[in-house]
Amino acid sequence: MTQNIEKFDVIVVGAGPAGNAAAYTLAKAGKKVLQLERGEYPGSKNVQGAILYADALEKIIPDFRDSAPLERTVIEQRMWVMEDESYVGTTFRSDRFNQMPGNRYTIIRARFDKWFSEQVQKAGALVICEMTVIALLRDESGKVIGVEVDRDDGKIYAETVILADGVNSLVASRAGLREDIKPAAVALAVKETIFLPKETVEARFNLKGSEGVVIEMLGSISQGMAGTAFLYTNKDSISLGIGCMLSDMKAQNTTPAELLEKLKQHPSVAPLIAGGETREYAAHLIPEGGYHALPELYGEGWLLVGDSAGFVNAVHREGSNLAMTSGRLAAETLLELGEKGLPSTAANLARYKARLEDSIVLKDLKKYRNIPDTLHSQRQFLSDYPALLNGAAHEFFTVDSRDKATKEKAIFNAFRERRSLLGLLGDAYRLWRATR
Amino acid sequence: MHIVVCIKQVPDSAQIRVHPVTNTIMRQGVPAIINPYDLFAIEAALALKDHLGGKVTVLTMGPPQAEPALRKALSFGCDEAVLVTDKLFAGADTLATSYVLASAIKTLHQETPVDLVFTGKQTIDGDTAQVGPGIAKRLELELLTYVSRIVSVDKAASSIRVERRAEGGVQVLETRLPALITMLEGSNEIRFGSAPDMFRAARAEVRVWDRNAAGIEDIKKVGLKGSPTIVSRVFVPSPRAQKAQQIEFDATNPEAATQALLDKVLAEIPKVKKELDNKRTAAGERHE
């Protein structure tokens, strides 16, 4: 066949935030870009909570607010530490978040991804869906020179291949560029989109106009497993989800559906979603192995970006921003090589890692490099402490005939009983070390 | 062979929901797809092209957003795509739609004579199965509906032989070309387009025709104006309120079980009881 002698500058595999950021940046700069997506349409395979962090997108499409489908601007952040019948929480609400430009938005990914892909196509990239990359093509030296897809006459050539094919990164795994994901390095998250009239959402969360609320939850809802839950307000729906480490779910023989069902029935959550209709149910893996689980990020003719590279900050629930940033940095690396007339060798692509190290992506992952291990081995942070905290609050806010000093003593004893004095000090140290 | 396939872009009805408050159909976020029945028409046309050569033109009337459906058809291997779109076409029923499509096919015929027109047996959003026959009538094409297999095409004799599913069997029909065929579901399986076809489809130019380009002669026959059909009301059928009932009987005695069931049915539907009684009386009279 003669059709495929054509060669692209870059082939981007995957149309999620990382792939779109890379394809957009490259196409905008005039590169000949082919983006392949195995789903029926861009976004059909993508799942997220979803919060959009404006900064990462702003650096790619500065005026995105003019046309992107945004749900609500987050003006209030709640943190709930939960027990079976209660929670101890903090709330930060600020009118300053109402001042433009907004910093965080709730989004519905199906709509957002469609928009993002339209921008990629407008920038000049050729986007083809329903095409699955099954292998990487290499030359005699082993350099990646293109991809092979699951269709007849499916060899397509390019100077560089950017793999943005998500958490499983089947392409990279199959090509031996990285190991298969391990259950201890991924969380399984499930979510429901629950429909409620706009006015109900606004009344229940004390919102007006396009204001939105984020609730992050941890504690007994994860049943002792390493995991957290979330509730985000959209225009006329609520995204409610929970995620736990896959290895934990396996060990406890729990299904994500059970966890989500329990979360929906929690007395603090149930009234917020009462009367709503679940319109969408989605599940996805999240690479939460952190810094120590990162694979090789580049090689001869190839780069990994986004989830396929494992760029998720599980502590701050950031992923899409790191995906977009890594996609942009990969693109900028290739643009720099192009300007200097350098080929996409591993030695030259090392500049990509240098850029990552200089950015939020690897700086944050490095900072929290020990968190996954700490939470794995130190289960008290997710089970004992939420229980103790809620018990303490209950004790403290119950007004009865006992004096306050007795109450304080009872609270302290409860802590000591469960974690011992040394344990408490040790935990404080461990937490400090892990987040340092 | 020049084959025209008429398709329609429809909302994926499997994903359509009714708004719980306003009772209107929620199309937002529902992906648009090629009417699934039309895929059998596309495949039948492509299979004929594989066999006999020529070209397949895919045609649709719809809003500009229908373009992806045509591109998709190109990715299967169709050669050309025409989108007939005009603000005046909005609100068309099957009469007006068949007029527009027939006009467009006439225009295509002037460029390259059309031998065959394919459509799906019906759409999943309208379910009328009227547009195909409507086009055939307007263009005076031989009409073959619910075709399950194309047996043969004789180019020299300009004839076609097909199998058609009919009640109680399969009809084998032969007619002359040009003809219009509506394809039955399950008659074939849409092919998996090759990579070069996917590339061609992504880059191809879809021809966009307004009413003039499509050769519409009488604008009173298009759109809402040309549509005598009136939708008087849209409503959600109310779910059945009746609950399942339990009938108690002695399980070891089949006769008692039958009697218990019968009593229940007859008590619930007096009309049946009355008819049965009448029949019994009549039969009794005959016996006497």
Which is more confident, B9 or A424? B9
Contacts of B172 (CB under 8 A, 6+ apart): B151, B161, B162, B163, B164
CA nearest to A34 within chain B: B199
- Residue A26 class from Cβ within 10 Å (0-12 exposed, 13-18 middle, 19+ buried)? buried
The reported pLDDT for the residue numbered B25 is 65
Average pLDDT for chain A: 90
A vs B, Cβ pairs < 8 A, gives 44
- Residue A200 CA to residue A246 CA, distance in Å, equals 35
Give the position of tokens 């959600």.
B236
B202–chain A Cβ distance below 8 A for any pair? yes
**Chain B: closest CA distance from residue A131 (Å):** 8
* Chain B environment of A128 (Cβ under 8 Å): 198-199, 202
Say whether A4 and B17 touch across the interface (CB within 8 A).
no
DSSP class of residue A100 equals S
HSE at residue A155, side-chain half, CA atoms within 13 A, is: 8
- Is this prediction's ipTM beyond 0.90? no
Q: How confident is the model at residue A412 (pLDDT cuts 50, 70, 90)?
A: confident
Angle, CA of A196, B32 and B238, to the nearest 5°: 50
The reported pLDDT for the residue numbered B246 is 82
Name the token pair of A267.
């007395």
Say whether B195 and A197 touch across the interface (CB within 8 A).
no
The reported pLDDT for the residue numbered A317 is 84
* Chain A environment of B200 (Cβ under 8 Å): 3
Say whether A126 and B203 touch across the interface (CB within 8 A).
yes
The reported pLDDT for the residue numbered A396 is 77
DSSP class of residue A249 equals H
Q: Please provide the CATH number assigned to the domain covering A7-70+107-179+295-367.
A: 3.50.50.60
Mean pLDDT of A242-271: 92
In whole angstroms, how far apart are CA A28 and each of A23, A164, A248, A337, B129?
Answer: 8, 18, 43, 16, 46
**Chain B: closest CA distance from residue A155 (Å):** 8
DSSP class of residue A427 equals H
For B106-143, what is each residue's pLDDT tens digit?
999 999 999 999 999 999 888 899 999 999 999 999 99
Contacts of A24 (CB under 8 A, 6+ apart): A60, A61, A116, A119, A120, A123, A125, A331
**Is a pLDDT exceeding 90 seen at residue A395?**
no
Q: How confident is the model at residue A182 (pLDDT cuts 50, 70, 90)?
A: confident
Provide the CATH topology of domain A184-287: D-Amino Acid Oxidase; Chain A, domain 2 (3.30.9)
**Is a pLDDT exceeding 80 seen at residue A373?**
no
**Is a pLDDT exceeding 80 seen at residue B243?**
no
Closest Cβ opposite residue A151 in set B20, B192, B202: B192
- A20: nearest Cα among A42, A45, A39, A38: A42
**Is a pLDDT exceeding 90 seen at residue A149?**
yes
- Residue B238 CA to residue B23 CA, distance in Å, equals 11
Say whether A156 and B195 touch across the interface (CB within 8 A).
yes
The reported pLDDT for the residue numbered B183 is 96
For B71-96, what is each residue's pLDDT tens digit?
999 999 999 999 999 999 998 999 99
CA nearest to A132 within chain B: B195
The answer to whether A299 and A141 are in contact (CB under 8 A) is no
DSSP class of residue A318 equals B
The reported pLDDT for the residue numbered B28 is 66
Mean pLDDT of B26-55: 90
Closest Cβ opposite residue B195 in set A110, A126, A153: A153
B21–chain A Cβ distance below 8 A for any pair? yes
Least confident of A66-70, A199-203, A251-255: A251-255
Say whether B31 and A197 touch across the interface (CB within 8 A).
no
- A210: nearest Cα among A62, A106, A114: A106
Q: At B259, is the secondary structure helix, strand, or coil?
A: helix
Domain edges within chain A: 7-70+107-179+295-367, 184-287, 372-435
**Is a pLDDT exceeding 70 seen at residue B21?**
no
In whole angstroms, how far apart are CA A13 and each of A21, A24, A38, A40, B227?
Answer: 12, 13, 9, 14, 47
Q: How confident is the model at residue B249 (pLDDT cuts 50, 70, 90)?
A: confident
The reported pLDDT for the residue numbered B214 is 95
* Chain B environment of A235 (Cβ under 8 Å): none
The answer to whether B3 and B160 are in contact (CB under 8 A) is no
- Residue A246 CA to residue A227 CA, distance in Å, equals 10
**Residues in chain A whose Cβ is within 8 Å of chain B:** 1, 3-4, 40-41, 44, 108, 110-111, 126-128, 130-131, 149, 151-156, 195, 197, 277, 279
The reported pLDDT for the residue numbered A44 is 82
Q: At A51, is the secondary structure helix, strand, or coil?
A: strand
In whole angstroms, how far apart are CA A231 and each of A79, A89, A326, A380?
Answer: 10, 14, 27, 24
Say whether A195 and B202 touch across the interface (CB within 8 A).
no
- Residue A392 CA to residue A402 CA, distance in Å, equals 14
**Is a pLDDT exceeding 90 seen at residue B103?**
yes
- Residue A151 CA to residue A133 CA, distance in Å, equals 9
**Is a pLDDT exceeding 80 seen at residue A436?**
no
In whole angstroms, how far apart are CA B191 and each of A66, A151, B50, B123, B149?
Answer: 41, 11, 12, 20, 16
DSSP class of residue A251 equals H
Residue A273 φ then ψ, to 5°: -115, 5
Mean pLDDT of A149-170: 93
DSSP class of residue B109 equals H
**Chain A: closest CA distance from residue B189 (Å):** 16
Closest Cβ opposite residue B196 in set A3, A111, A197: A3
* Chain A environment of B196 (Cβ under 8 Å): 1, 3-4, 153
Q: How confident is the model at residue A6 (pLDDT cuts 50, 70, 90)?
A: confident
Say whether B194 and A151 touch across the interface (CB within 8 A).
yes
In whole angstroms, how far apart are CA B167 and each of A288, B130, B170, B184?
Answer: 60, 20, 8, 14
Say whether A277 and B192 touch across the interface (CB within 8 A).
no
**Is a pLDDT exceeding 70 seen at residue B27?**
no
**Chain A: closest CA distance from residue B151 (Å):** 28
Closest Cβ opposite residue A111 in set B29, B196, B200: B29
The reported pLDDT for the residue numbered A388 is 80
Mean pLDDT of A319-348: 96
The answer to whether A94 and A232 are in contact (CB under 8 A) is no
The reported pLDDT for the residue numbered B7 is 97
The answer to whether A123 and A131 are in contact (CB under 8 A) is no
Closest Cβ opposite residue B195 in set A126, A152, A279: A152
Q: At A283, is the secondary structure helix, strand, or coil?
A: strand
For A281-314, what is each residue's pLDDT tens digit?
999 999 988 888 889 999 999 999 999 999 998 8
The reported pLDDT for the residue numbered B228 is 92
**Is a pLDDT exceeding 70 seen at residue B26?**
no
